[in-house]
């Protein structure tokens, strides 16, 4: 799941996007996987998801592919030539080197052996600093550090009822834009919700489906203070957990 939240400010002038002054961003990713049946000559590798499902231009990241790999190492096909995937000693683990000039957006990835290929997986290249969520972060009382933005957050909703919370500081006049990108870019089978909660534990704004099943919130701070951005979700196909 990719969660993006730009922060626009009436006071800070760090750059213009669409006529607004942009000072900070927050992105969040949640990786799930879709499966695709392919013909096989022997036992094929399987990759249900990549984590983290993205990285920043000019950086090298360690990516874990969840799945089954009867043969290791595997070869990697990608539709972008400047993103290098190097299998490491641990099965399912890669060192991914992203060129500084690599194209932004979704990269398509396949892992393959003589026995066959995985389904296509998606890896998103961005231009903001990224970090992975740190558990526990289900509620405000568990948060010990402020989330520095602009940033990209890579995270997962790993169990029923799971929620991820991030503490952010807003100054009066700043506009926070938070966006989850899970279903649209990553094809994650999740219907997610975003909430912004103030210091009094009141929900200031909530959104479910701004872009398909991916939520987006926009909040113009009327006063300075600490806020919690909360993300949670349900299966794309409704079941007994809803």
Q: What integer pLDDT is reported at residue 41 of this predicted model? A: 54
Q: What integer pLDDT is reported at residue 90 of this predicted model? A: 98
Residues 103, 106, 111, 117, CA torsion sign = negative
Check whether 126 has a pLDDT greater than 90: yes
pTM reported for the whole predicted model: 0.80
Give the whole-angstrom CA distance, residue 45 versus residue 23.
Answer: 43
Q: Which domains does the chain possess?
A: 2-31+128-235 (2.60.120.380), 46-125 (2.60.40.10)
Query: How long is the chain?
Result: 242
pLDDT single digits (tens) 48-103: 999 999 999 999 999 999 999 999 999 999 998 789 999 999 999 999 999 999 99
Please state the separation of Cα 165 from the chain's center in Å.
14
> Residue 238 contacts by C-beta under 8 Å, 6 or more apart in sequence?
none
Mean pLDDT, to the nearest integer, of 189-209?
95
Q: Are 79 and 111 in contact (CB under 8 A)?
A: no
Q: Are 4 and 25 in contact (CB under 8 A)?
A: yes
With CA atoms as reference, report the closest residue to 199 among 167, 176, 151: 167
Give the whole-angstrom CA distance, residue 183 versus residue 128.
Answer: 21
pLDDT single digits (tens) 96-114: 999 999 999 999 999 999 9
Q: Write out the two tokens for 200.
A: 């009094």
pLDDT single digits (tens) 20-52: 333 344 555 554 434 344 444 568 999 999 999
Give the whole-angstrom CA distance, residue 20 versus residue 124.
Answer: 25
Neighbours of 21 (CB within 10 A): 17
């Amino acid at each position: 799941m990719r969660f993006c939240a730009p922060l626009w400010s009436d006071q800070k002038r760090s750059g213009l996007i669409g006529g607004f002054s942009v000072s900070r961003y927050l992105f969040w990713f949640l990786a799930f996987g879709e499966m695709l049946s392919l013909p096989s000559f022997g036992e094929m590798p399987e990759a249900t998801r990549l984590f983290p499902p993205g990285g920043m231009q000019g950086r090298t990241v360690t990516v874990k592919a969840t799945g089954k790999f009867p043969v290791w190492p595997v070869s990697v096909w990608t539709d972008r030539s400047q993103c290098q995937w190097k299998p490491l000693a641990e099965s399912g683990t890669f060192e991914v080197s992203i060129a500084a000039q690599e194209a932004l957006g979704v990269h398509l990835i396949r892992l393959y052996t003589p026995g066959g290929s995985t389904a296509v997986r998606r890896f998103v290249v961005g231009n903001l600093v990224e970090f992975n969520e740190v558990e526990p972060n289900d509620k405000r009382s568990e948060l010990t550090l402020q989330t520095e933005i602009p940033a990209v957050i890579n995270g997962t909703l790993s169990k029923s009822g799971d929620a991820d919370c991030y503490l952010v500081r807003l100054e009066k006049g700043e506009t926070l834009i938070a966006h989850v990108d899970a279903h649209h870019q990553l094809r994650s089978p999740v219907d997610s919700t975003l909430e912004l909660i103030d210091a009094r534990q009141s929900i200031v704004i909530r959104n479910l489906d701004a872009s398909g099943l991916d939520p987006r919130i926009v909040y113009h701070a009327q006063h300075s203070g600490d806020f919690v951005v909360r993300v949670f979700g349900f299966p794309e196909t409704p079941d007994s957990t809803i």
